[in-house]
Amino acid sequence: MKNSRQSRKKLDSQVRKKLLETAADLFYRRGIENVGINEVIDRSGAARMSLYYHFPSKDALILAVLDHTSEIRLKALEEANKKGKDKDPRSRLLEVFRPMKGIVEDEGFRGCAFINAATERADPADPIHERVARYKSDLRGIFARLAQEAGVLSPDLLSWQLLLLWDGTMTEVYIQQDPNLVDAAILAAETLIRSALPPPGPA
């Protein structure tokens, strides 16, 4: 049991946490490949060897950052959905794109961190890709669950379509530097959703 106690402690380290958060911020804002570990340690205040104590390589740090970010993001989305638990499933599904508004309006928004990571690493065999693919699959899973609860006929198809729209919006808002594109996306999502819902029975 000694081993598990050790690693528990190691993972709880404040220095490790600081490194992780600093790296996450820098990687997102400036691009993974444009940030050297020197900058990470300088900004985090940690020593070079502390970084390599906690993470065997820069790649390991990147993966840790992705895992960390994935957990936060998905949890936040789940929370946002639970908030409207009182509403009926149809409304909840129709509002699934609403959180995006706040995300893209954030100063320093630079698209989806996961898409960006996958793009910077060209090789699809890179472990980073697997993380990105999984994150996107999880995101789609949320869409699919909402769709199913709302009674959508083919929740799988719709969830993929919503994911495509989601990704495109995150990307294009960044490219055009125009958060208002989200409004078009929300309307599109509503159109897709309404087309996927069975027509309301004659009351």
Sequence-ordered alpha helix ranges (H) in 84-154? 89-94, 98-105, 113-120, 127-149
Given DNA, a copy of itself, none, residue 137, with its beta carbon under 5 to 8 Å by kind, binds a copy of itself
Site of tokens 């029975």: 201
Q: Are 113 and 28 in contact (CB under 8 A)?
A: yes
Site of tokens 């993929």: 160
The sign of the torsion formed by the CA atoms of 84, 149, 112, 38 equals: positive
10 binds DNA (CB under 7 A): yes
65 binds DNA (CB under 7 A): no
- Tell me whether residue 31 or residue 84 sits nearer to a copy of itself (CB atom): 31
45 binds DNA (CB under 7 A): yes
Q: Name the segment binding DNA (CB under 7 A); options: 52-60, 74-82, 108-116, 163-171.
A: 52-60
Q: Are 162 and 189 in contact (CB under 8 A)?
A: yes
Cβ neighbours of residue 8 closer than 8 Å, sequence gap 6 or more:
none
70 binds a copy of itself (CB under 8 A): no
Q: How far apart are the first and last CA of the chain?
A: 63
Site residues, DNA (CB under 7 A): 2, 5-6, 9-10, 13-16, 35-39, 45-50, 52-54, 56-59
Site residues, a copy of itself (CB under 8 A): 29-31, 33-34, 110-111, 115-116, 118-122, 124, 129, 132-133, 136-137, 157, 160-161, 163-169, 171-172, 174-177, 181, 184-185, 187-188, 191-192, 195
